[in-house]
Amino acid sequence: MKNRFFLVVATVAAVVLMTSCGKVPQADIDAANAAISAAQTAQADIYLPGEFAALNDSMTVIMQSVEAQKSKLFKNFKTVKLQAGALTTLAGQAATNAAVKKDEVKVEAETLLAQVKTLLADNQALVLKAPKGKEGKAVLDEIKGEMTVIETSINDAQTLFDGGTDYMQVLDKVKAANEALTAINTELTDAIAKVRR
């Protein structure tokens, strides 16, 4: 009788013990979240949008895995712990990559800004040499007006650049100015070359 009783008690105890095994690796999950926040602070969402989206997707999968384990009788958070650890590493890498990419874009924007300023000065010099025939004068006036507007846009881009937030926006603005100035440069050069022939 006594043995039967102990057998039942032992069975129940074993079940209780096994169902309470496995705690949520909250510290690892918190670390992963912190790493993703740090990546966002490094502007990974702007400079590496694909990579940043993948980080968020991975975190979503981890949270699903946590609840999936909680739904079980016998929980095992080993895989979740490993996933969270890997995600923390990836997010750290993304932060680093974002800083590198931001620097690349910054350098590109800075180079292009310098280039358009030089092109603007070159065009202003070409305007003085351009032929001033009847139609030519009107076109030159038009070009001068256009360059004034482009110069304002370049100054706006410089202000944005000095602000140091979104170099992608600076790049788009300066690319438009560069295209406009290049077209003007071609027009002026062709007009001057025609007169020389």
Query: With contact defined as beta carbons under 8 Å apart, do 84 and 25 qualify?
Result: yes
Q: How many residues does the chain have?
A: 197
Q: Hey, CA dihedral for 181, 183, 187, 189, is it positive or negative?
A: positive
Q: Which stretch binds another protein (CB under 8 A): 38-46, 56-64, 93-101, 114-122?
A: 56-64
The closest of 92, 101, 94 to 47, measured between CA atoms, is 101
3-state secondary structure of 73: coil
String marking each residue 116-145 x if it binds another protein according to CB under 8 A: ---------------xxxxxxxxxxxx--x
Q: Work out whether 73 is an interface residue with another protein (CB under 8 A).
A: yes
Query: Crossing angle of helices 167-196/78-129, nearest 10°?
Result: 30
What DSSP letter does each residue of 130-144 carry, written as one string? S---HHHHHHHHHHH
Choosing from 27, 63, 107, 125, the residue that interacts with another protein (CB under 8 A) is 63
Q: Hey, CA dihedral for 140, 142, 148, 150, is it positive or negative?
A: negative
Token pair, residue 135, equals 């139609």
Q: Which stretch binds another protein (CB under 8 A): 8-16, 83-91, 93-101, 189-197?
A: 8-16
String marking each residue 83-112 x if it binds another protein according to CB under 8 A: ------------------------------
- Based on CB atoms, which residue is closest to another protein, 60 or 79? 60
Choosing from 98, 177, 188, 191, the residue that interacts with another protein (CB under 8 A) is 177
Choosing from 62, 101, 173, 191, the residue that interacts with another protein (CB under 8 A) is 173
Residues of this chain that interact with another protein (CB under 8 A) are: 4, 7-8, 11, 15, 19, 53, 57, 60-61, 63-64, 67-68, 70-73, 131-142, 145-146, 148-150, 153, 172-173, 175-177, 179-180
